[in-house]
């Protein structure tokens, strides 16, 4: 298991916190919470060691499109970059949904 | 009509799908971040809800709580946090029902049983879950779903067997010992874990339904699940399977353990009330359980007709007490249970003699104390055992011990030998007080090292390494003591050949344990070691209480 963090300047607000996914084979869990500072902060724990550069690339791409002021907590159980990108898009969609 | 798969949903989605729209409120949701503290030190990524969803809401207008286990996270294994979420929630539901507020518990089983990375926590907490279910059944139906993916195994198959109503699909499996574990423990000739046809014919949903070990077999469809739950709620309550002692003992007597039985035969055995009683030789095989049973009862002869379970009524410290031990018998009919394992017959015979004491004392002002002398090497691993439902045999005993407590019998256990896995759940873990000899040969664990290494895909060396970081994974009695479930460890006793002084010291500790006249399992969380050793269990219960109403 490896743990690491990344931080990017950002300013867009999100509506509410959101959660998606499970820590199951090839999947991951994301907790997305509004941040008080003008950054997107990613805190990751992953079962697959040695892929920091790939995580960085996925996050840079995400932040370039969605500069949200938020804390993103990720518990990963070997998700591929494609799955990570998909889950990030999903959790952001939930966070910006109007509450019923 | 369109079907919506229930199996494909994750634990949280399953709970939401069953509850009335917009009625679901989650207790201890992921943002509370109460995760297992035992996984990260072993290099395993935790989950923010520890793979367990507590969802309060309405089911067709009635108050209900859904306890949904996430099978995709660590195989749905029961660790300290997720297990305490189930136990803690069930205890609140019991409290509500006792106060006259009807709340229906629905448990979604998707679990391999004890989470081997938190081994003895799993065992302890599963016994607490079981205790709550037995108490709850007097108020409301406890409904269990086994939809499939993982199915329900190990200690949690014993738990499922205690439910008032079980609902399954054809895609689920339900048994005590998983195929790989039976193969590891008993050999490939006993059970070939790669023979899929054999597996489904033995423990698959269809097989279980036809044998009568589950109540409803339904399609994998959300609407079908809702209908099945509704019919379970509105059904008139019947005698739980785990209380049908005579029926199951008759069937077990008819089965020929020397050959592999068939489903058709089992169905036949269970439907024929008249039965042969085969003669069972008594080899009187030596064991610690036998030694201590004799020592503590002053050689009182056993009244049980079955040589593998010793039962004696004695006056112990001026009070009536029934002592019970499971002992090895080299001449046992069932070859997978000759070393003192809790097998089919042992489980049901335990239930028979505990229930006998409850019934005989029903109108007595003083209920006799029940003392379990614990020396059990494991549950029996075998094909016939799974086919006949050994999880029900263990559950029958659990049910009887828990019921005895509810009826006002003090139940205490003394660990003199091994206390292992399903056997310990069936014989020992329903005690409100446990004492143990401080002896280096005593093992307390959920699964042998060889099997645990195979299931968690680790080497034996890696497993040994992990036990150093997590006391609950260790196998010795001193580490078990740090988890808080023992009242006392008794030093300087020759456990194999005890002298008069040792016997009187053990008897004195037993007397103290009985004197507390405690009828719950609550003490385990109040001992000095528990404050540290069960810190997460205590925290989870506190948080549930805060968020409950």
How many CB atoms neighbour CB A48 within 10 A?
15
> A63 vs chain B: nearest CA distance in angstroms?
23
Task: Identify the contact set of chain A against chain B, taking CB-CB distances under 8 A.
Answer: 1, 17, 19, 22-25, 27, 29, 31, 33, 45-47, 73, 75-77, 100
Output the pTM of the full model.
0.97
Residue A12 lies in a domain: yes
CATH of domain B279-447+475-528: 3.90.226.10
Residue A84 in domain: yes
- Provide, as residue numbers in chain A, all residues whose Cβ is less than 8 Å from the Cβ of B48: 19, 29, 31, 73, 75
The DSSP call for residue A96 is: T
**Domain with residues B11-243, CATH architecture:** Alpha-Beta Complex (3.90)
Domain membership of residue A50 (yes or no) is yes
Using a CB-CB cut-off of 8 Å, the residues of chain B touching A22 are 10-11, 47, 51, 70, 72-73
Which of A33, B488, B271 lies closest to B480, judged by CA? B488
- Check if B11-243 and B279-447+475-528 are the same fold: yes
Hey, where are the domains in chain B? 11-243, 279-447+475-528
Predicted pLDDT of residue A98? 81
Q: Which pLDDT score, from 0 to 100, does residue B275 have?
A: 64
pLDDT of residue A71: 97
Q: What is the pLDDT of residue B467?
A: 83
pLDDT given at position B471: 87
Residue A100 domain-assigned (yes or no): no
pLDDT at A100 over 70: no
- The answer as to whether A88 is a domain residue is yes
**Number of separate domains in chain A:** 1
* H helix runs in chain A, sequence order: 52-65, 81-95
Cα-flanking dihedrals φ and ψ of residue A88, to 5°?
A: -60, -45
Residue of A nearest to B53 (CA): A22
Q: Which domain holds residue A44?
A: 2-95
Instruction: Provide the pLDDT confidence category of residue B253 given band limits of 50, 70 and 90.
Output: very high
In a domain, A33, yes or no: yes
Distance CA B400, CA B539 (A): 30
- Please tell me the distance from the alpha carbon of residue B200 to that of residue B147, in angstroms, as a whole number: 15
Q: What is the CATH number of the domain that holds A12?
A: 3.30.230
Q: Please name the residue of chain B whose CA is at the shortest distance from the CA of residue A100.
A: B22
DSSP string, B309-351: EEEEEEEETTEEEEEEEE---TT-SSGGGSSS-B-HHHHHHHH
Please answer yes or no on whether B31 and A19 come within 8 Å at the CB atom: yes
pLDDT tens track for B375-420 = 999 999 999 999 999 999 999 999 999 999 999 999 999 999 999 9
Q: How far apart are CA B392 and CA B383, in angstroms?
A: 15
- Helical spans, DSSP H, in B99-151: 119-136
DSSP state letters, B11-59: HHHHHHHHSPTT--EEES-GGG----SSSGGGT----TTTTEEEEEEEE
Percentage above 90 pLDDT, chain B: 91
């Amino acid at each position: 298991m490896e743990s690491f963090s990344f931080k990017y300047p950002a300013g867009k607000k999100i509506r509410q916190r959101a959660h998606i996914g499970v820590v199951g084979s090839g999947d991951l869990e994301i907790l997305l919470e509004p941040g008080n500072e003008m950054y997107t902060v990613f805190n990751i724990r992953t079962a697959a060691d040695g892929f920091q550069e790939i995580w960085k690339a996925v996050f840079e791409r995400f932040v370039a499109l969605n500069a949200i002021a938020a804390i993103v907590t990720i518990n990963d159980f070997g998700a591929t970059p494609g799955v990570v990108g998909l889950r990030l898009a999903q959790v952001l969609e939930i966070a910006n949904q109007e509450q019923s | 009509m369109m079907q919506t798969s229930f199996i494909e949903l994750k634990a949280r989605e399953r709970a939401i799908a069953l509850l009335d729209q917009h009625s679901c409120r989650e207790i201890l949701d992921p943002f509370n971040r109460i995760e297992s503290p035992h996984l990260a030190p072993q290099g395993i990524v935790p989950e923010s809800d520890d793979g367990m969803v507590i969802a309060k809401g309405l089911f067709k207008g009635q108050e209900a709580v859904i306890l949904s286990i996430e099978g995709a996270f660590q195989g749905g294994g029961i660790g300290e946090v997720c297990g305490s979420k189930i136990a803690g929630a069930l205890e609140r539901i019991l409290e509500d029902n006792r106060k006259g507020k009807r709340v229906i518990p629905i448990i979604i089983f998707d679990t391999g049983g004890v989470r081997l990375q938190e081994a003895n926590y799993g065992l302890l907490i599963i016994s607490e879950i079981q205790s709550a279910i037995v108490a709850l059944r007097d108020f409301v139906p406890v409904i269990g779903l086994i939809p499939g993916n993982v199915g329900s195994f190990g200690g949690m198959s014993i738990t499922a067997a205690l439910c008032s109503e079980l609902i399954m699909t054809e895609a689920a499996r339900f048994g005590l010992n998983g195929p790989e574990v039976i193969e590891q423990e008993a050999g490939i000739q006993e059970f070939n874990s790669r023979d899929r046809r054999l597996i489904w014919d033995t423990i698959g949903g269809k097989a279980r339904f036809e044998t009568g070990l589950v109540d409803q077999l339904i399609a994998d469809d959300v609407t079908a699940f809702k209908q099945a739950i509704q019919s379970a709620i509105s059904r008139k309550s019947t005698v739980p399977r785990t209380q049908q002692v005579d029926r199951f003992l008759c069937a077990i007597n008819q089965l020929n353990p020397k050959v592999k039985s068939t489903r058709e035969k089992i169905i036949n055995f269970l439907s024929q009330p008249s039965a042969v009683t085969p003669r069972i030789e008594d080899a009187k095989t030596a064991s610690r359980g036998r030694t201590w049973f004799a020592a503590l009862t002053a050689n009182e002869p056993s009244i049980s007709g079955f040589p593998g379970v010793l039962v004696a009524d004695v006056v112990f410290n001026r009070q009536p007490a029934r002592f019970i031990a499971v002992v090895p018998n080299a001449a046992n009919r069932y070859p997978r249970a000759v070393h003192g394992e809790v097998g089919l017959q042992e489980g049901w015979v335990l239930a028979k003699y505990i229930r006998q004491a409850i019934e005989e004392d029903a109108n007595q002002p003083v209920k006799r104390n029940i003392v379990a002398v614990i020396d059990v090497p494991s549950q029996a691993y075998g094909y016939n055992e799974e086919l006949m439902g050994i999880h029900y045999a263990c559950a029958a005993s659990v049910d009887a011990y828990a019921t005895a407590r509810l009826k006002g019998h003090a139940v205490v256990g003394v660990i003199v030998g091994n206390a292992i896995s399903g056997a310990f759940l069936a014989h020992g873990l329903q005690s409100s007080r446990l004492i143990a000899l401080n002896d280096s040969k005593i093992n307390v664990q959920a699964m042998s090292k060889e099997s645990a290494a195979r299931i968690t895909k680790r080497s034996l060396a890696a497993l040994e390494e992990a036990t150093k970081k997590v006391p609950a994974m260790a196998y010795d009695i001193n580490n078990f003591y740090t988890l808080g479930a023992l009242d006392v460890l008794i030093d300087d006793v020759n456990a194999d050949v005890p002298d008069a002084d040792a016997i009187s010291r053990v008897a004195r500790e037993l007397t103290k344990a009985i004197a507390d006249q405690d009828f719950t399992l609550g003490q385990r969380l109040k001992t000095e070691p528990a404050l540290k050793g069960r810190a997460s269990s205590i925290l989870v219960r506190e948080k549930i209480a805060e968020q409950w109403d």
